[in-house]
Copies of this chain bind each other. A is one copy, B any other.
Amino acid sequence: MLKEPALAALRGIFGDRASVAAPVLLEHAQSESLVTGALPDAVVFPRSTAEVAALAEWSTLHRVPLIGWGAGTSLEGHALALDGGVAVDFREMAAVLEIRPEDRLVRVQPGITREALNRDLRTTGLMFPVDPGANASLGGMAATRASGTTAVRYGTMRDNVRGLEVVLAGGRVIRTGTAAPKSSAGYDLTALFVGSEGTLGLITELVLKLHGQPEAVMTAVAAFPTVGAAVDCVIAVMQMGLTPARIEFLDADTVAACNAYSHLTLPVTPQLLVEFHGHPAGLAEDVGRFRALAEDFGASGLDWAEKQEDRTRLWAARHAAYRAILAARPGAKAVVTDACVPISALAQAVEETRADIAASGIPGPILGHVGDGNFHAILLVDPARPEEATIAKALAKRLAERSLRLGGTITGEHGVGFGKLPLMAAEHGEGWQVMGAVKAALDPLNLMNPGKLVPGQP
């Protein structure tokens, strides 16, 4: 609960865009996953960097934490208050500020979603390709270092944020990066803030790299006899240096769920959903090489969807896979895991995970951006049976430990929040303490999204 002078001062900055109404607080205490937090004390809807800077000054003066809020699609509780504080909802800072087609850059406010951005870019011949599935906000995507289906070709947010404007604890405003394609001028502050999950400051502006809309696109679904064959095919594709724009794995359970939910008729076996972007001749070459490789691994039914409507249908089904899987067990809640391993360990990681899930008695379809070694098991638990959540969390923990054992990471793209906090020491060792030291240097009062990402303050 905010004390009266603090609330009055907050209203002084935001007027009726500072809310303590119960439904507004409740809306900002929800998550798409099983991770839950507490109610924030207030929610504000800033319209400018100056307002966010004033808010950060206010936060320091009144010792009230700030927690950034984008589209509310994160899965590890990043945007949830743990012990009060103000949720900073960026929905009213959602403009495209500048498009620079010659430099393939766009400057945006943090609240814009990736779908809205790409609508605004449609006529420019350019696109912002990073696609985490959810229609997330760009500020949130930068804060969590999001990626998704297209990272295998276009990279993650790490690779596609050229610069940021950030409001630091206390209200200082900095700009990182320049419009030049590269720089060696000092520490890479852009990279430091991308993935910092609001713990070092609040992102108020982003300069993003754009890519040309592909001249030609080919999409295919390929059915494989076994999980191992599909995964080995991906490994071969990546090792051959083919660069698909997307290469997604769906296990048989995922395919069955997608068939039911999106009215497809794919054979219920492990599938790869693959897309190539390029100029016509190069594309035909890539497609031919992929076909030969896939057939070597026993693929059948390799069907190239050249028509936009067929492609859209397939990718819409892929994007709906999470909802499709949830619908396969009515009333269930999901524990979404996020393993990422070296390509060489992908087959082993997937096989061990499948066996572990099969032995658990809980449904857990597997799908993922396998060109990056990244896959997810969607563990479906019945909320009426609390023992299932316990089993699912144990499965998720074993999967993270398996990733580490195989040389990978506890999270490929979902981030840490506080859901993955207990695993950070195992991944980083002493490096986690270094993260804590950086945090303490930039936010000594621990007001920026406290309780997330870094070790607890002593």
Contact = CB atoms under 8 A, between A and B. Distances in A.
B103 A342 contact: yes
A428 B343 contact: no
Contacts of A168: 434
Contacts of A184: 144-147, 195, 338, 409, 411-416
Contact of A158 (B173, B191, B407): B191
A446 B105 CA distance: 38
Contacts of A82: none
A14 interface: no
Nearest to A278: B282
Contacts of A188: 145, 158, 188, 191-192, 194-195
Interface string A234-257: 010011110000000000000000
A150 interface: no
Interface stretch (A85-93, A297-305, A360-368, A436-444): A436-444
Interface string A265-307: 0000000000000111111111001000000000000000000
Nearest to A427: B185
Interface stretch (A59-67, A174-182, A311-319, A391-399): A174-182
Nearest to A404: B178
A140 to B, nearest CB: 12
A180 B342 contact: yes
Contact of A408 (B180, B414, B429): B180
A109 interface: no
Contacts of A342: 100, 102-103, 105, 178-181
Nearest to A172: B430
Nearest to A144: B184
A434 B442 contact: yes
Interface in A27-64: none
A331 interface: no
Contact of A441 (B101, B159, B374, B441): B441
Given A344-B102, A434-B442, A437-B441, A424 B186 contact: yes
Contacts of A145: 183-184, 188
Nearest to A282: B282
A204 interface: no
B186 A373 contact: no
A185 B147 contact: no
Contact of A180 (B174, B282, B407): B407
A172 to B, nearest CB: 6
A453 interface: yes
- Specify which of A151, A372, A408 lies most central, judged by the most chain B CB atoms within 10 Å of its CB: A408
B182 A374 contact: yes
- Give the interface centre of A158, A416, A442 by most chain B CB atoms within 10 Å: A158
Interface in A202-223: 211-212
A353 interface: no
Contact of A434 (B189, B280, B282, B434): B189
From A172, A174, A185, A343, residue with most partner B Cβ within 10 Å: A185
A113 interface: no
B182 A100 contact: no
A215 B281 CA distance: 16
Contacts of A416: 184-186
A31 to B, nearest CB: 16
A411 to B, nearest CB: 5
A146 to B, nearest CB: 7
4 interchain residue pairs of minimum CB distance: A282-B282, A191-B191, A441-B441, A212-B241
Interface of A: 100-105, 144-147, 151, 156, 158-159, 168, 172-176, 178-189, 191-192, 194-196, 200, 211-212, 235, 238-241, 278-286, 289, 338, 340-344, 372-374, 403-404, 407-416, 420, 424, 427-432, 434-435, 437-438, 440-442, 453-454
15 contacts: A104-B343, A156-B182, A174-B430, A180-B340, A180-B372, A180-B403, A180-B407, A180-B412, A182-B412, A185-B410, A191-B192, A192-B438, A211-B241, A212-B240, A440-B441
